[in-house]
Amino acid sequence: MSLTFDFVQPEPAATDRITLFADVILPLPLPKLYTYRVPYEMNDDVVIGGRVIVQFGAKKTLSCIVAAVHETPPALYQAKYVLEFIDDAPVVTQPQLKLFRWMAEYYMCTLGEVINAALPSALKLSSESRIQLHPAFVRDEPAYPLSEPEEKIVVALSTEDGKAMTFTDVGELLGNTNFHKVIKSLIQKDVIFLFEHLADKYSPKVVKKVRLAHHFVEENVLEGLFQQLAGRPKQLDVLMRYLQKVPVYQNVHANHQGTEKASLTSSPHLSPSAVNTLIKNGVLEQFDVIVSRFPLDDSPEAKMPFTLSEAQLTAQADILKQFTEKDIVLLHGVTGAGKTEIYIELIRKALEGGGQVLYLLPEIALTAQIVTRLMRVFGTRLGVYHSKFSDNERVEVWNGVLSGRFQVVVGVRSAVFLPFDNVSLIIVDEEHESSYKQYDPSPRYNAREVALMMANFQGAKTLLGSATPSVETYYQTRAGRWGLVSLTKRFGEAGLPEIELVDTRKSRDAKKMLNHFTPELMSEMERKLAMQEQVILFQNRRGYSPFINCLDCGWIPKCKNCAVSLSYHKHAHELRCHYCGFHDRMPVECPACGSRNLKTVGFGTEKIEDDLKVMLPQANVQRMDLDTTRAKNSYQQIISDFENQVTNVLVGTQMVTKGLDFANVSLVGIINADSIIHYPDFRAHERAFQMFVQVSGRAGRKGKKGKVIIQTADPAQVIFDKVIRNDYLEFYEYEITQRREYGFPPFMRVIRMTVKHVDQLVAEQAAILLTQELVERLGREAVLGPEAPYIFRIRNFYLQEITIKLDREHTVLKHAKGQIAAAINVVKDQKEFRQARLVADVDPM
DNA sequence: AGCACGCCGACT
DNA sequence: GTCGGCGTGCTC
């Protein structure tokens, strides 16, 4: 408990009673905390970071987090009472609260929004929460005695099969007496479980187990049983196996735990029917046990040792040495240099020191392979936090961190929200990845920056890893503030791939293009496939074609909600908008002129796949993009098919650039490099360089030299030269000069304001006013715009953008954010702009 | 974010 | 004459 009160004086007189107030964080986008009064008799129950239930407004009952407790009554209003206290220990720890406050301030959002993003929804009880009888609960023999109100609920829930009750129902049933306590108690006793109204149907993971019926446990009775079963060899086998698994002779109590039913039926000479007969005859009894979704498998073979190479050892020593002087170190290692092994060693060392470890990875790099590898080393101490996880699994990880069960967590962006309180090492792998930045729902945070702040608050060291570090990060190492360790050799004998530029314009002029393939790429593919080697093709656009065009009247289908053309998806036979999800059937004829001459223009992954199936009929081609990986296990399926060489060619979007380490890939093709380079953004070159180098890294592993072919209409562009020589430093020098000259990060901070309104004119006017207000407060030179972005309408909202550039200095930044907030308020106070949405994105990517 | 209060159109 | 549209203001 984080709060202590001075109750030393014995029996305080009633008039001396302390009145406490709790400032709570509501899970809503409200700018401030709300103060509720704690009932006297509950003074001991307030926990900072614990959940409480309050009435908010006339109707709503919300669960929220206590952020502070004090004795100052609000001057301007009468505080309502806290209705109930749910937790007797914090679910949100003090270090988390501190970090969340920082996030809210830095990313210009409310604490409520941060809390909302942070808490797994199963921790957010709302009036929509419902309860249901636990499937493993047997009414006639409860494991714990039930109180009267508890019994009442059980009866009500038992009347119908699988009946659910809302909190309101429970309240009515019990006459509104502190029913949350009752519910919580029932949950603890595994009598009921809680689920969110619309959330997927929770089913606790249940394992069928069997044990010896209790009257057989005694040794002499057991002997008698053997006699009885003498003529039934199958059943005897099962029994012997059971006694082998559960040493009832040595330890009578072991029988209570029993063993998994599956363990008695799995091996071939044991028959499941014999097990069932034993159960039927009352020799064995079957029972259900709820198990963790993260099994406790601490088998001894788990601790698989491995040895680091000379280069890895040197790098590791260097990192540790730099950590003695610096809190942040960048491990700049070429793809395939073996960074993961170094991470594992460092994690092991950090754990020996008693601290927690957070290992962040981008979504697409967090694969089953890496988790298995980490599991082998860290066993049950490892927690995994992934976006494909169900809410129940998330809560298990959250609680596991709180209880200390998980000391290492490998996870994606949102893992920075977990309740760490003693982190000693944070690893941010692929630190340059833009997927660490959350864009759409607020908080628009960058997990790398949040991780750095968490490390700062908790005195941890941070290791950033990348083959292509972000310019901002590398700048910090150059300035000497952060450490730098480089790994320039690939693990094993694998050399870096040979990169060849192929001029698409030349081929096109010579009429030699085969669909979107140059003859060079085509013949190289054929050659590699003939050698039974695999190919990865990268095309940064999904769908079949980005738009279609009527050859007779020029009609191009556009999205009705967004200012974009609709992409053609051949397989689904649809036209789709990639911004709002609108879709429509592909028309047979032009709706404008009736012509049937509809032509696809441009190409995406689907067309590449389609063409290849015709051009390389002997090859097995698979596509990996958002459309083919939507289903739950499809991503893993595609990867394992490719790994097992079921597929020969993998065509994909950015997904193919990360984390796929396959020894047999000897060719990588980038179909259209130009679309990546020409992007209206100051980070376009950085992103392009990173993408090319990362995807190139997929070619050639384990001693095989790979080849990369980049198709471009303009091979003379400066960036290619640096990609071909894999010269990060040269790229950095070139890029940093540009950044300095044009005043971009790391020299300046960028805050991007977006103004949205359904009416284009109003959006423009609001943006103009906002710009004026910003200029007034921050100066003309700090404010750029307003300007309509390239895609100026999304989901029926017209957009206007304003870019604010600020000095990096902390105090300036803090002051500026106050000024921006003030400017936003001026616009918002204008009643014609009430409907406008003004969004600030700090450090946009 | 919701939800209530409040002032102007198409309906029994 | 009313039911209901969603604009705007508040929630401790």
Q: What is the mean pLDDT of residues A800-821?
A: 87
How high is the pLDDT of residue A561? Answer: 84
Residues close to nucleic acid strand B (C-beta < 7 A)? A 28-30, 57-60
Q: Report the binding-site residues of A.
A: 550, 553, 559, 562, 577, 580, 590, 593
Give nearest nucleotide to A831 (CA–C1'). C8
How many Å does it take to go from CA A57 to C1' B4?
10
Q: What is the per-residue DSSP string for A180-197? A: HHHHHHHHHTTSEEEE-S
Strands (E) in A322-455, as ranges, are 328-333, 356-360, 382-385, 408-411, 423-429
Nearest-nucleotide field for A37 (CA, C1'): C12
Q: Which residues pair with A359 in a beta bridge?
A: A410, A427
Rounded Cα distance between A688 and A686, Å, is 5
Distance from C-alpha of A650 to C-alpha of A529, rounded to nearest angstrom: 12
pLDDT band at A478 (very low <50, low <70, confident <90, very high): very high
Distance (Å, rounded) from C-alpha A808 to C-alpha A814?
A: 10
DSSP secondary structure of A761-805: HHHHHHHHHHHHHHHHHH-GGGEEEEE--SS-EETTEEEEEEEEE
The whole-number Å distance from A28's CA to B2's C1' is 10
For CA atoms A755, A761, A762, A765, give the dihedral sign. Answer: positive
> What are the residues whose beta carbons fall under 8 Å from the beta carbon of A485, sequence distance 6 or more?
A315, A318, A319, A322, A329, A330, A331, A332
Residue nearest to nucleotide C10 (CA to C1'): A57
Q: Which nucleotide is nearest to A837 (CA to C1')?
A: B1
Tell me the two tokens of residue A643: 């790994």
Given this model, what pLDDT does residue A128 score?
A: 54
Q: What is the pLDDT of residues A678-722, one digit of tens each?
A: 887 889 999 999 998 888 888 876 667 788 999 999 999 888 999
Give the separation between CA A160 and CA A106, rounded to whole angstroms: 51
CB closer than 7 A to strand C: which residues? Answer: A 30, 32, 34-37, 54-57, 74, 77-80, 831, 834-835
CA A58 to chain centre: 36
Nearest alpha carbon to residue A113 among A342, A442, A530:
A442
Q: A829 CA, C11 C1': separation in Å?
A: 19
In A70-194, where does DSSP find H-type helix?
94-106, 111-118, 148-158, 167-174, 179-188
A170 pLDDT band (50/70/90 cuts)?
A: confident
Residues 6+ apart with CB under 8 A from A815: none
- Give, to the nearest 10 degrees, the angle between helix A339-352 and helix A368-378: 40
pLDDT for res A7: 43
Evaluate if residue A11 carries a pLDDT over 60: no
- Separation between the CA of A16 and the C1’ of B2 (whole angstroms): 40
Q: Which residues contact A129 (CB under 8 A, 6 or more apart)?
A: A166, A167, A194, A195, A196, A197
The rounded mean pLDDT for chain A is 85
Report which of residues A515 and A734 the model is more confident about: A734
Q: Of A638, A654, A647, A644, whose CA–CA distance to A692 is shortest?
A: A654
Sort A503 into a burial class: Cβ within 10 Å, 0-12 / 13-18 / 19+.
Answer: middle
Judge contact between A711 and A504, C-beta under 8 A. yes
List, in order, residues 6 or more apart from A312 with CB less than 8 Å away.
A338, A341, A342, A487, A491
Flag the least confident range among A145-149, A416-420, A651-655. Answer: A145-149
pLDDT at A99 over 70: yes
Alpha-carbon span A734 to A639, nearest angstrom: 36
The token duo for A140 is: 């006639």
Rg of chain A over all Cα atoms, to the nearest angstrom: 31
Tokens found for residue A711: 């198709």
Q: How far apart are CA A184 and CA A564, in angstroms?
A: 51
The mean pLDDT of A585-591, rounded to a whole number, is: 89
The helix or strand, by DSSP H or E, that contains position A312, with its residue range, turns out to be: helix A310-323
Question: What average pLDDT does this structure show over A433-459?
Answer: 95
Mean pLDDT of the A553-577 span:
90
Q: Which sign does the torsion angle of CA A432, A434, A436, A442 carry? A: positive
* Nucleotide nearest residue A835, measured CA to C1': C7
CA A561 to CA A347: how far, in whole Å? 48
Q: How far is the CA of A759 from the C1' of B10 (A)?
A: 26
Q: How confident is the model at residue A351 (pLDDT cuts 50, 70, 90)?
A: very high
Of A736, A732, A766, A748, the C-alpha closest to A837 is: A766
Of residues A72 and A283, more confidence is placed in A72
**Rounded distance in angstroms from the CA atom of residue A24 to the C1' atom of nucleotide C7:** 30
Q: How confident is the model at residue A327 (pLDDT cuts 50, 70, 90)?
A: very high
Strand C positions within 7 A of protein Cβ atoms: 7-12
Backbone CA torsion sign across A317, A321, A322, A326? positive
**Residue A297 scores a pLDDT above 70:** no
Q: Which helix (H) or strand (E) holds A674?
A: helix A674-677
pLDDT at A164: 72
The span from the CA of A813 to the CA of A261, in Å, is 62
| Closest nucleotide to A33 by C1' from CA | C12
DSSP H or E stretch at residue A93: none
Q: Which of A380-389, A563-572, A808-817 has the highest mean pLDDT?
A: A563-572
- Segment A433-462 shows an average pLDDT of 95
Report chain B positions within 7 A of protein CB atoms: 1-4
User: How many Å apart are A388 CA and C6 C1'?
Assistant: 38
Question: What mean pLDDT is predicted for residues A407-425?
Answer: 96
- A597-608 confidence digits (pLDDT tens): 889 988 999 999
Longest dimension (CA), chain A: 99
Span CA (A292) to C1' (B8), Å = 59
Annotated binding-site residue numbers of A for Zn(2+): 550, 553, 559, 562, 577, 580, 590, 593
Contacts of A237 (CB under 8 A, 6+ apart): A269, A270, A274
Residue A514, classed as helix, strand or coil, is strand
